[in-house]
Amino acid sequence: MTRIPFFALALASVSLVPLAASAADRPIEIQDEIIVTASRVPQNRLAVGSAVDSLSETDIKTRQDAFLSDLLRDLPGLAVNRSGPAGAFTQVRLRGGEASHTLVIIDGIEVGDPFNAGEFEFAHLTSGGVSRVEVLRGPQSALWGSEAIGGVINVVTGPSVTPEGPWAQGFAEGGSFGTLRGSAEAGTAGDWGVVRGSLAYSDISGISASPSDPEKDGYDNLTGFVFTTFNINDAFSLSLSGRHVSATAAEDAQDFTFGSPTQGFVIDSDGERKSDRWYGRAVADLSMMNGQWTHQLSANLTDTQNESFSGGAFSFGSEGRKWDFEYQTNFAFETGESASHALSAVLEYEDLSYENRGAGGGAENQSQTGEQKSAALEYRLGLADQVFLSGALRYDDNDRFDDETTYRVTAAWAVPDTGFKLRGSYGTGVAQPSFFELFGFNPDFFIGNPNLQPESSEGWDVGVDYSFADGRGLASLTYFDSNLENEIFTDFGVFPFTVDNRSGVSTRDGIEAAFRVDPLDAVSLSASYTYTDAKDDGGARELRRPRHTGSLNVTYRFAGNRAAVDFGLNYNGEMQDSEFIFATPETSVTLDDYVLGTLAASFDVTDRVQLIGRVENLFDESYQEVFGFASPGIGAYAGVRIRLGQK
């Protein structure tokens, strides 16, 4: 079954909508959007040579998806896989890479699990309080380190515009699958600085992850966040932030018992997984020479704890902790009337510790430590506000692996008086093995390989952005190509299972297209399409990487902008996945393509109260994102948002 022609037509047809003559309420100006992750300092999108897309606070609130991973399906270059119901293990891949090749940053903190090579588990990241998401694609290790081999996802919480004085807002929602969600957020701001905090809770009865068992696998999540900035004077400020996530998910598992009639399938296993995430950040900012020379000193903590239970009894657990200390200085200057220059230098020290615990006293009970010292330099040149060039170089001194040097160059040309921007980038990256890949976590089931080598990549892309209709529309097209050496793979041909490096080169290439426009003051349209060809060194398709993905989103605002209706479609093409049914000769299976529809609506009863509602999986599609794991059918939800103060 294929639906690609439908999405190709949708992407092409939106460009034919007639444009209104007056300016839209929210114009899309390519020159004005600030991109944070494409450089070590924020830049205007016009100057960015890499492929980047974003979701605004309006996008996030209008579309209403409960989990951020579902919102990411709307952007090009991304593939999402969730192992069953809400709270189940969720991975996001960029450009055909592995999930551990994507660096995730939330409010300035690198939040990937140190135990698992910096891979971030999206299962516990809800959309509540998120005001912006930015996705930078392509190798970015020269800027951001080893986890950024495939790209960077940057998440910003809190109001997009900080209001003066005290404010507060609340949210409550209920609906299908026993869903109850609520949150509260409050803060205040003035010349002295900002203080804000939030608390969010989700309780979802869910569905069974096993298609053959009706027992529900529930999920709960409690997330708290605090942030404060103190402006000591006009040049110096101090910031502190902390984030804690506590989540519990009931789990079903695949049956690996040889000879069992359900061997290879997902069955009711009475499992449970508890997760605790602690994140902290302290920052000192100093500005000198009227902002021409700046300094930032930061200390960051990421601590991830996981515990798994079977029948109420502890099975195994892990903890990964990373302390990240960083100093960055930036200096900007001009030569002549048309040339601007900027330099950024970074010194970084990472201290990592890992611990694995099993139910018994065997070899799985172990702890390890590691450290890495890094230095990076970036130079940016702008000529006549038309040509923008950048180059970055990074050196990593790791105590476990050989030292690595990575680099990146970008170029962008804003063609005068046309609305077109031509861009291109080339970069290298490195991804280090995870703790459990090196040392294992259960000697009866999976053993590590201490001889693993880091993965390395080189990649490039070329593209064009087109801003049209006085900034009301933005279209982009990108071709990308990358090679991955020493790809780490799981060897299921031996038991206990283990991992190894592939001897050849794995390839990824494809096309990304995105389009959004406000054809009328009351209407917004957006669409995306991605073709990804990801193969291992033997030419086989990589698992869980669909060749075709696409999205279409239409928003209509009416009743004086007090009401809005949003309709969204997400397409996920056929993809390969592993199967563990020893009675069959196959080792992989093809998962069918699927389309997920969402319909969301909101109505402002007053300036302070807004009613919201949505329907997910609108067409009640039966689909699997991971082989054997069931996914929720159609569901309906309704709730209310309340705003107080100057928010």
Exposure b/e, 319-347, CB count within 10 A at least 16 = b: bbbbbbebebbbebeeeeeeebebebebe
**Do 72 and 78 form a contact (C-beta atoms < 8 A)?**
yes
pLDDT value, residue 21:
30
**How many angstroms separate the CA atoms of 14 and 138, rounded?**
27
Per-residue pLDDT at 569 exceeds 60: yes
Q: What is the pLDDT of residues 125-178, one digit of tens each?
A: 999 899 999 999 999 999 999 889 999 999 999 887 778 889 999 999 999 999
Output the pLDDT for position 505.
97
The arithmetic mean of pLDDT across residues 105-111, rounded, is 95
Give the highest mean pLDDT range of 265-274, 616-625, 638-647: 616-625
pLDDT in tens, 64-75: 999 999 999 999
The stretch 478-486 carries a mean pLDDT of 97
pLDDT classification of 26: cutoffs 50, 70, 90: very low
Structure tokens at 563: 């009401």
| Model confidence band, residue 10 (pLDDT cutoffs 50, 70, 90) | very low
Task: Output the pLDDT for position 585.
Answer: 67
pLDDT of residue 646: 63
Structure tokens that stand for 323 in this block: 């302390």
Q: Which of 222-226, 367-371, 432-436 has the highest mean pLDDT?
A: 222-226
268: pLDDT strictly greater than 70: yes
Residue 553 has pLDDT above 90, yes or no: yes
Separation of alpha carbons 570 and 3, rounded Å: 11
Task: Give the pLDDT confidence of 281-304 residue by residue, as tens digits.
Answer: 999 999 999 999 999 999 999 999
* pLDDT reported for residue 454: 94
Residue 384 CA from chain centroid, whole number = 34
User: In the chain, pLDDT over 90 holds for what percent of residues?
Assistant: 77
CB distance 177 to 128 below 8 Å: no
Q: What is the pLDDT of residue 579?
A: 85
Instruction: Show the beta-strand stretches assigned E in 70-192.
Output: 78-82, 90-94, 102-106, 109-110, 130-137, 151-157, 167-175, 179-190
Residue 11 clears pLDDT 50, i.e. is over it: no
- The pLDDT of residue 31: 55
Using alpha carbons, select from 97, 149, 107 the residue that is nearest to residue 130: 107
Residues 6+ apart with CB under 8 A from 645: 163, 165, 166, 167, 168
Q: What is the pLDDT of residue 146?
A: 84
**Band (86; pLDDT cuts 50, 70, 90):** very high
Residue 332 predicted with pLDDT over 50: yes
**Residue 637: alpha-carbon gap to chain centroid:** 25
Which pLDDT score is estimated for 515?
Answer: 95
In the block, residue with structure tokens 């107080």: 644
Q: Region 342-352: what's the mean pLDDT?
A: 97
Provide the b/e sequence for 360-395 (b: ≥16 CB within 10 Å).
Answer: eeeebebeeebebebebbbebbbeeeeebbbebebe
Q: How confident is the model at residue 266 (pLDDT cuts 50, 70, 90)?
A: confident
Q: Please, what is the end-to-end C-alpha distance for the chain in angstroms?
A: 48
Query: Token match 């929720």: residue?
Result: 632
More confidently predicted of 110 and 496: 110
Say yes or no to pLDDT of 521 above 50.
Answer: yes
4-645, CATH topology level = Maltoporin; Chain A (2.40.170)
Interval 611-622: pLDDT, tens: 999 999 999 999
CA 68 from centroid of its chain's CA atoms:
8
The partner residues of 361 in beta bridges, in order of sequence, read: none
* Residue 57 banded pLDDT, cuts 50, 70, 90: very high
pTM: 0.93
CA dihedral over 79, 83, 87, 89, signed as positive or negative: negative
Number of Cα atoms under 13 Å in the Cβ half of residue 465: 24
pLDDT one-digit tens code per residue, 182-227: 999 999 999 999 999 999 999 999 999 998 888 899 999 999 999 9
3-state secondary structure of 148: helix
Amino acid 583: pLDDT: 64
For residue 279 the two structure tokens come to 């994140």
Asked if residue 83 has pLDDT above 90, the reply is yes
Model confidence at 255, pLDDT cuts 50, 70, 90, reads confident
DSSP state of 126: B
Top-confidence range, 11-15, 258-262, 354-358, 455-459 = 455-459
pLDDT at 19 over 90: no
Q: What is the DSSP string of 463-507?
A: EEEEEETTTTEEEEEEEEEEEEES-EEEETTSSSBEEEE-SSEEE
Query: Which of the four pLDDT bands, split at 50, 70 and 90, describes residue 324?
Result: very high
Average pLDDT of every residue of the chain: 90
Q: What is the mean pLDDT of residues 84-113?
A: 94
Residue that is written with structure tokens 């209920």 in the block:
174
Residue 28 has a pLDDT of 47
